[in-house]
Amino acid sequence: MKLKLLIIGFFLISFVGNAQQEAQFTQYMYNTANINPAYAGSRAVLSALLMHRNQWVGLDGAPKTNTFALHTPLGEKVGLGVSILNDELGPSTENTFSVDLSYNIPTSETFKLAFGIKGTVNLFNVDFNKLKSFNQNDALIANRTNIDNRFFPNVGAGIYLYSNKTYVGVSIPYMLEKKYYDNDVQYVAGERMHIHVMAGYVFDLSSELKFKPSVLAKVVKGVPLQVDVSANFLFFDKLTLGAAYRWDAAISAIAGFQISDSWLIGYAYDKDTTRLGNFNSGSHEIFLRYELFKNYDKVIAPRFF
């Protein structure tokens, strides 16, 4: 237990002293609305997603993330989305509320190019009483004052080129780099701008089997490049099985099942490939998606992203 506390303590020191990074998801291909505002309305139906991620299970203070995202088309050209994200890490809790607006332009008979903007309100909390210290006289902890609902607005933007089988997107969900301070005007944490680049394609291997490779890269100044690569197979338009690899970080198993035309459930398990993997039992991620169809012709060949 002491070793686990030391590890998470080291992680939290890095968090407090350097940069607070955005929440990550293994099943990002289903949670694109959280990353790219241009995705809003692209599925041509009202789509609602609920996702939970429990990272590094067994490690005290490990991240827990919950998100709800809803988006819908408003006519042929405009899409609207709203999302709520709750992220817990050690003594900190962050709640993010976002509104997305997109506008798409047909570029051919099969492709559309969408432009999106995101408006965000962030509430940040730190309860230093949750920290466990081996030195009761540690001034770093003793002299800190809790942070309660520190307010920070932000804006983001993205572009998204897509068809029924292909997508390519570039986005910056949060453009304004922010710093958090405690009541003594001391630096606590900051968040830097993240550039997301994503792409995917659906191969029809047969009438009963589809294959979709996808990739998501995150570029952050001062942080190593993060690349997620996944390969999913869709059987009979019902069962999804696949695997993913996060560069120098984790390997994942992914599964999903189309319960009905409207309901989709998915699960992912991550196993760390770093030394941190020796001290936790992996990460679990589950989501549930509901879609309201007005034109049932659209459910015959459901989009795989």
Tell me which residue has tokens 């997107």.
169
What does pLDDT average to over the chain? 85
In the predicted structure, residue 19 carries a pLDDT above the cut 70 = no
Place 60 in a pLDDT band, splitting at 50, 70 and 90.
confident
Task: Give pLDDT tens digits for 277-299.
Answer: 888 999 999 999 999 876 554 54
Of 162, 166, 189, the closest CA to residue 178 belongs to 189
Which of 13-27, 37-51, 233-247, 248-262 comes out lowest in average pLDDT? Answer: 13-27
**What is the Cα Rg of the chain in Å?**
20
How many Cα atoms are found within 13 Å in the side-chain-facing hemisphere of 61? 22
How many Cα atoms are found within 13 Å in the side-chain-facing hemisphere of 260? 7
In the predicted structure, residue 58 carries a pLDDT above the cut 50 = yes
Of 129, 144, 130, the closest CA to residue 185 belongs to 144
Place 185 in a pLDDT band, splitting at 50, 70 and 90.
very low
Place 303 in a pLDDT band, splitting at 50, 70 and 90.
low
CA angle 278, 271, 219 (to 5 degrees): 105
First to last CA, the chain: 41
pLDDT for the residue numbered 295: 58
Task: Give pLDDT tens digits for 71-93.
Answer: 999 999 999 999 999 999 888 89
Place 5 in a pLDDT band, splitting at 50, 70 and 90.
very low
CA distances from residue 171 to 8, 19, 32, 40, 252 in whole angstroms, order as listed = 31, 20, 10, 13, 24
pLDDT for the residue numbered 23: 83
